[in-house]
Amino acid sequence: MSRLPSSVSTTNSLDGIMAKVRHDFPALQQSVHGKPLVYLDNAASTQKPQSVIDTISHYYAFDYANVHRGIHYLSERATRAYEDAREKVRNFIGASTSREVIFVRGTTEAINLVAQSYGRMHLTEGDEIVITEMEHHSNIVPWQLLCEQIKATLKVIPVNDTGELILEAYERLLGPRTRLVALTHVSNALGTINPVKQIIAMAHAHDARVLLDGAQAAAHIPIDVQDLNCDFYAFSGHKLYGPTGIGALYGKAELLEAMPPYQGGGEMIREVTFEKTTYADIPQKFEAGTPHIVGAIGLGTAVDYLSSIGLMNIGQHEQELLSYATETIGDLPGLRIIGTSPHKTGILSFDLRGIHPHDISTVLDHEGVAVRAGHHCAMPLMGRFGVSATTRASLSVYNNRSDIDTLKGALDKARAFFSL
Ligand code: 7TS
């Protein structure tokens, strides 16, 4: 079951659409500490529209059954809904067949799957994996684990002072032993949108495969895996208005077909004997056990929701808001924005001299403003910018100028409180 957001039926103007989008999100209608909630922690996770909430409760109330096993009516209906969701995700990322879409718990699991399945099969001692200095720990640690297991080496593309990858350094890192390049499409701590098409082409010229971590991209910019020509693409449902515990891994069919299973169990087999087990075709080969059925179906509705507004519209709205936010808070005395690339999504990470980000966010919280403070699971990147943590406001489709004005007012209070 999916509904168009209430916003879309009534107006075509972007401002009009965005003004109404907010009403699709029940969580945004509440107050915290006696102040209207201003939710600016979208890079951590987004709130859910009513259509996603309705889909989830409808499934549990009326359609609930396991998938791919029962011959009974409900099981068939649940299986259809689950596979329809896969098709929606395929369409959302521009894959050529839904066999290339594997449901996983999220970006973290997707990357671990590729590291352990593709990595252990195709890489060997002395091979090299290239990542970047701006990766989330989810795109560092799985490769370190793999490197320890097979004695491969990790190489790191550095970032410049504005928070962009230094492509000349990348070119120098590529060599005959480079087997895999794994990088984020958009940085969660800086907002930088990386020139991934160029980076992929450079890797392919060296016969290396490329995995893109799309956790921070999929809700903000249109994704077309065929146009990008990436080999793997990973993202999480909860960052694009869908449920937690569900995400997708895209992989080129010929790669997935050649890869060994990541986990063994039910669903992923063709035939089991004690002597030898044969495996199901993709994507089932990589979906051992009962999947997060309602999560996938809810993700399908979230994708419908995003598509009904349009990723181009969302991107334009967020860019306008990012400009406004950068102007509004960018020249507060002592405030340094970390991540100043002209190619950014709506992420404002900053350091406010002398105040620990946890203290800032505590003051903001009392003003009803939710942001994230910390290292954002990007500790090496924090070190690169000489900080241990930042305060991060991250925008989404339902934020507006008034949210930014409230953020500014709350930051003024924090500055006064700490006598800055
Ligand atoms: N990659 C990037 C770029 C991310 O931003 C995140 C989560 C992940 C991977 C992991 O995603 P998961 O859904 O598997 O956990 N990033 C953040 C963040 O910035 N704040 O909280 C979570």
Q: How far is the CA of 375 from the centre of ligand 1 (A)?
A: 12
21 plus 169 within the same structural domain: no
Whole-angstrom distance, CA of residue 377 vs CA of residue 241: 21
Cβ neighbours for 1, distance < 8 A, ≥ 6 positions apart = 54, 55, 58, 301
Predicted pLDDT at 13: 76
**Residue 279 belongs to what H/E stretch?**
strand 277-279
Tell whether ligand 1 has an atom less than 6 A from the beta carbon of residue 236: yes
Ligand 1 touching residue 108 (CB < 6 A): yes
Let me know if 377 is a catalytic residue. Answer: yes
Please tell me if the CB atom of residue 135 comes closer than 6 angstroms to any atom of ligand 1.
Answer: no
CATH of residue 159's domain is: 3.40.640.10
Q: Ligand 1: does its nearest atom lie under 6 Å from the Cβ of 111?
A: no
Contact of 234 with 214, CB cutoff 8 Å:
yes
Which of 41, 105, 107 has most ligand 1 atoms within 8 Å of its beta carbon, as the pocket-test mutant? 107
**Are 194 and 165 members of one domain?**
yes
Residues 6 or more apart whose Cβ sits within 8 Å of residue 293: 59, 66, 67, 78, 81, 82
CA of 304 to the centre of ligand 1 (A): 22
If you measure from the C-alpha of residue 212 to the centroid of ligand 1, how many angstroms do you get, rounded to a whole number?
13
Residues 21, 122 within the same domain: no
Mutate to test the pocket of ligand 1, among 236, 379, 392, 396 (most ligand atoms within 8 A of CB): 236
Residues 415 and 419: their CA atoms lie apart, in Å, by 6
pLDDT in tens, the chain (420 residues): 334 444 444 345 788 888 889 999 999 999 999 999 999 999 999 999 999 999 999 999 999 999 987 789 999 999 999 999 999 999 999 999 999 999 999 999 999 999 999 999 999 999 999 999 999 999 999 999 999 999 999 999 999 999 999 999 999 999 999 999 999 999 999 999 999 999 999 999 999 999 999 999 999 999 999 999 999 999 999 999 999 999 999 999 999 999 999 999 999 999 999 999 999 999 999 999 999 999 999 999 999 999 999 999 999 999 999 999 999 999 899 999 999 999 999 999 999 986 899 999 999 999 999 999 999 999 999 999 999 999 999 999 999 999 999 999 999 999 999 888
* Nearest CA among 93, 109, 132 for reference residue 210: 132
Domains: count for the chain: 2
Q: State whether residue 202 is helix, strand or coil.
A: helix
Dist. CA 136 → ligand 1 center (Å): 7
Does the beta carbon of 213 sit less than 6 angstroms from any atom of ligand 1?
A: yes
pTM of the model: 0.96
User: Same domain, yes or no, for 255 and 401?
Assistant: no
Contact 253, 99 (CB under 8 A): yes
Give yes or no for residue 194 CB within 6 A of ligand 1.
Answer: no
* pLDDT value of residue 12: 55
End position of a domain, from candidates 266, 282, 307: 307
56, 115, 377, 378: the active-site residue: 377
Claim to verify: residue 122 and residue 247 sit in the same structural domain: yes
Task: Give the mutation target among 188, 235, 347 for probing the ligand 1 site: most ligand atoms within 8 A of CB.
Answer: 188
2 lines ligand 1 (CB under 6 A): no
Range of the domain at 341: 6-48+311-417
In a domain, 245, yes or no: yes
Q: Are 74 and 223 part of one and the same domain?
A: yes
- Indicate which atom in ligand 1 lies nearest the CA of residue 247: 13
Helix, strand, coil % (nearest 5) of the chain? 45, 20, 35
Q: How far apart are CA 50 and CA 96, in angstroms?
A: 30
| DSSP structural state of residue 237 | G
pLDDT for 9 equals 43
Q: Which residues are 234's β-sheet partners?
A: 213, 249
| CATH number, domain containing residue 320 | 3.90.1150.10
376 CB near ligand 1 (under 6 Å) = yes
Out of 307, 330, 349, a domain closes at 307
Same domain, 318 and 271: no
